[in-house]
């Protein structure tokens, strides 16, 4: 069956996959208002299905030390902190305006003390980070996912989870939609990531057909 894939900034409630009608995230009124404001201004933030998966998964998993690559204005970060009440979030964003707005949002929500925001390139930043994380949310430059993978595996604790967003690329990876000529490089690099995490003997991975596709990898 064919169906349209939502873009990352799909307005809340728009259908992405056949399951989207069921997968509605419940977030606080304050976060909901910030999220709607992001959608209204075309600021990228996780779609309903992806956010709902994140909420459901983290409600059970309860990581303590979270790394996010791709803060945007802090919506997914705020949701993760809201679900994981004792967790610390390190989150990286290269866009100065998004970084500043995320800082305001984290403060307004009372999360300031539980966040380390980094302004910079994700690839450069991960080389400088110390310690290990029990959850990594990879949600920035998709074309770079494959390049980041070896370092992200090092930054992940044994038993930790690496969740990469947007890995099915509007149905291009599943063959449901043709790959536009101009996006072949993006397709190739994301396919390399999916092939790498599904073949990696140090990871156990499931590709999940929700939102725009998730790769959930657990480090052995
Ligand atoms: C999909 S958005 C993140 C959405 C956010 N995680 C959420 O759900 O609310 C991706 C973000 O990654 C940032 N980004 C893209 N490439 C980056 C890079 N190489 N380093 C750091 N940030 C990057 C973009 O500026 C954008 O804000």
Residue 12 lies in a domain: no
The helix/strand/coil state of 42 is coil
| CB atoms inside a 10 Å sphere around CB 141 | 17
pLDDT score of 60: 98
Question: Radius of gyration over alpha carbons of the chain, in Å?
Answer: 16
Residue 125: alpha-carbon gap to chain centroid: 17
- State how many domains the chain has: 1
The residue whose CA has the least distance to atom 1 of ligand 1 is 44
Q: Which CATH number covers residue 176?
A: 3.40.50.150
Q: How far is the CA of 93 from the centre of ligand 1 (A)?
A: 6
Model confidence over 19-70: pLDDT tens digits?
A: 988 999 999 999 999 999 999 999 999 999 999 999 999 999 999 999 999 9
Return d(Cα 212, Cα 169) in angstroms, integer. Answer: 6
Residue 51 lies in a domain: yes
pLDDT of 14 strictly over 50:
no
Domain coverage including residue 191: 29-219
pLDDT of 163 strictly over 90:
yes
Whole-prediction pTM:
0.94
Model confidence over 109-147: pLDDT tens digits?
A: 999 999 999 999 999 999 999 999 999 999 999 999 999
Residue 186 lies in a domain: yes
| Site to substitute for ligand 1 among 38, 41, 72, most atoms within 8 A of C-beta | 72
Return d(Cα 202, Cα 197) in angstroms, integer. Answer: 9
Strands 214-219 and 115-119: unpaired
pLDDT score of 50: 96
The values of phi and psi at residue 92, to 5°, are -115, 135
């Amino acid at each position: 069956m064919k169906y349209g894939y939502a873009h990352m900034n799909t307005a809340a409630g728009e259908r992405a996959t056949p399951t989207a009608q069921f997968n509605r995230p419940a977030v606080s009124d304050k976060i909901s208002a910030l999220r709607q404001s992001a959608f209204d201004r075309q600021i990228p933030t996780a779609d309903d299905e992806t956010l709902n998966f994140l909420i459901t998964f983290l409600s059970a998993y309860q990581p303590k030390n979270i790394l996010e690559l791709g803060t945007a204005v802090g919506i997914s970060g705020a949701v993760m902190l809201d679900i994981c009440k004792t967790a610390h979030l390190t989150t990286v964003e290269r866009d100065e305006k998004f970084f500043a707005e995320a800082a305001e949002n984290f403060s307004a929500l009372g999360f300031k003390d539980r966040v380390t925001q980094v302004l910079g390139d994700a690839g450069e930043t991960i080389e400088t980070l110390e310690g290990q994380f029990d959850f990594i949310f990879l949600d920035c430059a998709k074309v770079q996912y494959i390049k980041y993978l070896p370092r992200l595996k090092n930054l992940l604790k044994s038993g930790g989870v690496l969740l990469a967003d947007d890995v099915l690329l509007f149905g291009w990876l599943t063959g449901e939609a043709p790959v536009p000529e101009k996006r072949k490089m993006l397709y190739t690099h994301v396919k390399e990531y999916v092939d790498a995490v599904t073949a990696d003997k140090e990871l156990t991975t499931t590709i999940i057909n929700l939102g725009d596709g998730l790769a959930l990898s657990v480090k052995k």
